[in-house]
Chains A and B, each alone.
Chain A
């Protein structure tokens, strides 16, 4: 999970995995993925007890941001 100066840099990276092009997203997309309560509410004081309830909204946001790309499909 890394930042690169451009999509071309990501594709040239020595650890780039062929076929994983869908794993490249813009900063705005990445920020949107990290903006549900799963990440915003870590400072709520009840994060551990609340965390099971965050999963559905997080995966829904990922689907919305990535256009339901299979690369971003949640675990079965």
Chain B
């Protein structure tokens, strides 16, 4: 088992890479960044994904699928910052939390409504909703909070 400081560094590297590039790194990139052999990069990734945070790998692989607030696979939640649209959010709730990755900047969220297919656009900055179109936009979760962890991917 890796020490917690190494897991902190692994998490931080993945998050910063996602912010910078809009994609999660491969475990060999983790290894290179942390100056450890590739096998240790893989071990760190697996151990990080097992600590109980709402992150997950693509099934039957060691490829990062989701690392909130971001998703490494496209979702309907596209994120734009400064005119660049490199990111996808894990879900509608995490799309809002993505603002914490870009302090002092406006994060634009674009998504289709799952009911009518019409566009939703939300701008958020430092925890404040700057704009929502339409203004009636709502968040909905069909799973009670107590069951989120049991249904983490669906939720």
Interface residues of A (CB under 8 A from B): 1-7, 9-10, 12-17, 20, 23-31, 33-35, 39-40, 42-43, 45-49, 51, 62, 70-76
Contacts and interface: CB of A to CB of B under 8 A. Distances in A.
Contacts of A7: 136, 138
A21 B109 CA distance: 24
B84 interface: no
A25 B138 contact: yes
Contacts, number: 161
B138 A24 contact: yes
Contact of B139 (A16, A27, A35, A42): A27
A-B pairs with lowest CB-CB distance, top 8: A1-B91, A9-B115, A10-B140, A3-B92, A34-B97, A30-B139, A6-B136, A5-B113
Given A25-B138, A30-B93, A72-B144, A45 B113 contact: no
B141 A5 contact: no
